[in-house]
Amino acid sequence: MRSGNLGYPRIGRDREWKKALEAFWAGKLEEEAFHAELKAIRLGNLKTQQEQGIEVIPVGDFSYYDQILDTSAMFGLIPSRFGYEGGKVGLSTYYAVARGTREAAASSMTKWFNTNYHYIVPELESTLKPVLTSNRLLEAYREAKQELGIEGRPVLIGLYTFVKLSRGYAPNELESWIDRLLPLYVQVLQELAAEGVQEVQIDEPILSTTLAQEELAIVARIYETLAKEAPGVKLFLQTYFESVDHYEAVVALPVHGIGLDFVHDGGRNLASIKKHGFPADKVLGVGLIDGRGIWKADLHSKLELLNTISQSVASDRIIVQPSNSLLHVPVSAKGELKLDAVLRDALAFADEKLAEIALITKAGNNGIEAVAVELEAASNSRKALEQSPSRARKEVHERIADLASQPSDRTASVEARRRVQQDKWQLPLFPTTTIGSFPQTPEVRRARLKWRKGEWSEEQYETFIKDEIKTWIDIQTELGLDVFVHGEFERNDMVEFFGEKLAGFAFTSNGWVQSYGSRCVKPPIIYGDVEFTAPMTVAETVYAQSLTSKPVKGMLTGPITILNWSFVRDDKSREEVAYQIALALREEIEALEAAGIGMIQVDEPALREGLPLKREQWAAYLKWAVLAFRLSTSTVADETQIHTHMCYSEFNDIIESISALNADVISIETSRSHGELVKSFEDFTYDKGIGLGVYDIHSPRLPSVEEMGSMIDRALRVLDPALFWINPDCGLKTRKYEETVASLRNMVEATEIARQKYAR
């Protein structure tokens, strides 16, 4: 029995990776120094795994931005608009695809399966001629071996997963793209084999989704070709995030080993092994440790599961590993000294998970007695948290037990509410607004830091925030927007801000994970029962409203997004935790309404990313997710207008559930997806207010009036002009002052042109 890992966080213990990227982009770090800094981080990551006693160490999982973008670049799949002319893809082109330029829009970005990590979507243009520009896996393997003496296992995104996640080709062209790329995969493997690489990890998480039989035939053809053309290297096929539906077909593939997730599979992978066995000539990667959660494992139950699996698979053919790459968890919990000791002792980040893997492997090889002390300590840590008063809030439990009696829908129809709201607000055709946040300048961040350190008093900080709010209320007035926001200057993060003010949440000092590019987030930890304690957003919103006669939206993060963007306790279902959050948010919404705020936006950008990977499980998830949103928003008066916002998701399959949220107005990202979402409304009549984002806020380029006008025109081919709102894709927190004002000015101008064009 061996210990193994599937991937390690690339950001560095103190986010050195993020800082290096941003310094390079800002021109403060020369390219040679940039490469050197990232190499130091990369080697440090490998050394950590080596020192933890991990025997199978992945190489090539490190990235300069995103592993899918790396695969695109490795095969020269660069969209033509970036002017790429062949050869190894340079950093300027690589980052242009990811971030866009003033001349070319960035490639689309979307969620990696049901995680909060975003990847850059490959664009498979018909004119592209894929070629192996550089074998980055070979480079990674050589570096690990030469610098640290590590015989690493290169990690390659599987061909079927890569093509299925790509865009730009018709459904009937899928196999032709497989055929164009398959020889390049063979070439990569042949070069690795020639170097002496023993085994290659091929990640195919797509196999954990719902696939048709004809798709499995394509997968089989891919692996038959790889096995035949590159016999000199062993193939380790890795699946994760769920169970494998077509188990018998997958384990029959001509590969040396297969990795299965035994954490998030609902017991289905184990059931398949019990029913069908496991091939005696293959290695099984047993995903025992949760690669997405941050809690110490119940090691006794993990060892029991391992023992059960060992009855079907020989011990010398087992690799103990995480359920997926550790990319999705923070690096180390060692520095979290500010947390309550009971909570801190129950945490396991990437480094702690590696220790758990090594411990379980030791027990598997030498018996439980060899690790008895460690097992008892881990068990005591979990028990202490389970017995915490934070998990025994009587009122919360009573409200959940009486959930059926809680209001969960608006009393009036959407049409009746629209009439009342229009009478109240008298909004023009195509109302303009923004999504919520305005630039978090260095001055804003420094002010917050001074306040948190105690260098500024509460009064000093409050004065500063009010000045920022007033500045941007004045800017919105000058720009001519119709519905204002206060700017969210007091907020560090759209989830963390609320978690800090609700009972049941805790926050780390350094629990960062990568969301996209250099954007790292520090997810809250939901460790106890969630409860409202005091108003969270009322003071700033009411102050902003006092400065203008235009409506100012109250801004909240919705229950499902708070859930999906937090690390959630593992002793209750996610459904129940979502209801706890929803009922707490309801009290905040009622407080805003009581304070005179008549428009309230409850953002749910993470609604879709919580979808199970199996389609047959979607209905159950959507039912409770929609209910959670409605529990939080259904007690307001008819004239109170509820908004929501969603971004970077494909909504075509869940448009009915989005409508079922029963929000009065929804805004949805569409600019990076080039208006593809508009197609959803060709077959579905949406009867509520809707704003399809007319420009991408994640790119530094300034969108033209004409460009935004074309987005408006396309949307109005299928949407009722009377229901259409105009707004950016997402919040403007990450943008600079000048580009924010210029972009919004163009947006307002495009709106005025559209009003003249579509006026009745």
Contact 605, 646 (CB under 8 A): yes
Alpha carbons 386 and 570: distance in angstroms, whole number: 10
Report whether 706 contacts 672 (CB < 8 A). no
Beta strands in 2-132 (DSSP E): 2-3, 58-59, 109-111, 118-120
Would residue 427 be called left, alpha or beta, if left means φ above 0 and alpha means ψ between -120 and 50 degrees?
A: beta
**Both structure tokens of 342:** 């009971």
- Encoded tokens for 620: 């159950």
Query: Is 151 annotated as belonging to a binding site?
Result: no
Which are the contacts of 210, defined by CB distance < 8 A and separation ≥ 6? Answer: 245, 613, 614, 615, 616
Closest by CA position to 653, among listed 210, 122, 292, 158? 210
Known binding residue 488? Answer is: yes
- The verdict on whether residue 22 carries a ligand-binding annotation is no
DSSP percent split of the chain into helix, strand, coil, nearest 5? 50, 15, 40
Report whether 436 belongs to an annotated binding site.
yes
Q: Is there a binding annotation on residue 465?
A: no
Strand bridging mode 525-532 / 502-506 = antiparallel
Tell me which residue of 573, 583, 402 sits closest to 503, measured CA to CA. 583
**Residue found under tokens 């011990």:** 315
459 annotated as ligand-binding? no
What Å distances lie between residue 483 and 284, 554, 669, 745, CA to CA?
57, 11, 18, 15
Asked if 589 contacts 602 with a C-beta cutoff of 8 angstroms, the reply is: yes
In this structure, the number of other CB atoms found within 10 A of the CB of residue 458 comes to 8
706 known ligand binder: no
466 in a known ligand binding site: no
- Report helix, strand or coil for 655: helix
**Residue 458 annotated in ligand binding:** no
Compute CA distances 556 → 6, 261, 400, whole Å. Answer: 36, 35, 22
380 is in an annotated binding site: no
Longest CA–CA span in the chain (Å) reads 81
Tell me: is residue 158 an annotated ligand-binding position: no
> Is 53 flagged in the annotation as binding?
no
Positive/negative CA dihedral, 665, 666, 672, 673: negative
Helix (H, G, I), strand (E, B) or coil at 505: strand
Q: Are 592 and 548 a contacting pair, CB within 8 Å?
A: no
Question: Token digits for 341?
Answer: 């000791």
Say whether 470 counts as a known binding-site residue.
no
Residue 7 assigned ligand-binding role: no
Q: Which of 118, 264, 486, 698 is catalytic?
A: 698
DSSP one-letter string for 243-273? --TTHHHHHTSS-SEEEEESSSSTTHHHHHH
3-class DSSP state of 514 = strand
614, 242 contact by CB (below 8 A)? yes
> Has 698 been annotated as catalytic?
yes
Kindly give the residue spans of alpha helices, DSSP state H, lying in 59-206: 67-74, 91-99, 136-148, 159-164, 174-195
Q: Any binding-site annotation on 520?
A: yes
Residues flagged as binding site for Zn(2+)? 645, 647, 669, 730
Active-site amino acid positions: 698
Residues flagged as binding site for 5-methyltetrahydropteroyltri-L-glutamate? 15-18, 111, 116, 519-520, 565, 609
Residues flagged as binding site? 15-18, 111, 116, 435-437, 488, 519-520, 565, 603, 609, 645, 647, 669, 730
Residues flagged as binding site for L-homocysteine? 435-437, 488, 603
